[in-house]
Amino acid sequence: MTSGVYCIKNKMNGKCYIGSSYNIEKRLIAHRKYLLANKDTKKLQIDWNAYGADAFLFEILELVRMSEILVCEQKWIDKCRASIDGYNTRKKAAKMLFSNNERKARWRKMARNVKILGRNAKNFILRLQSLKTISACHDVTKWKRSNIVLLKNRKL
């Protein structure tokens, strides 16, 4: 597993997307999969569809420790002007979603909370998904609304 900063560069117009990951190889494979499925970021997807896969270069820019990823990513976003002339939609590097370990820890915590409530986890998740509003879920669980949204969308 290699952590660092990567670039997806359009060889035709010079635009690039700068990203970072705890596992660059896996992330670049995911980007290619999303692009082929027509489900990646809008600006990048438009050019991918227009120019084709052969017009893009996937490359690793810099390998860094996990603690330095955001600083390094920001350096490359600024250097390549990726948020101005490229495909990045944000001007500032933001914390990545969750590593697999963080995601598993969140699931374990959620399962513990479900057991405390005395409900079967699967049935409880189905019940949350069936409630009409996030507020209704919050009233039942007293969990943060953001966590409920993630759970309802099955991203937690």
Tens-place pLDDT, residues 125-149: 666 666 667 777 667 667 777 777 7
pLDDT of 156 over the 50 cut: no
User: Of all residues in the chain, what percent carry a pLDDT higher than 70?
Assistant: 67
At 51 the pLDDT is 95
pTM of full prediction above 0.75: no
Domains in the chain, number: 2
Tens-place pLDDT, residues 44-72: 999 999 999 999 999 999 999 988 999 99
Last residue of a domain, one of 30, 45, 80: 80
- Contact (CB, 8 A) for 12 and 51: yes
Residue range of the domain that includes 133: 100-152
CATH no. for residue 34?
3.40.1440.10
Mean pLDDT for the stretch of residues 110-133:
60
Which has more pLDDT, 82 or 131? 82
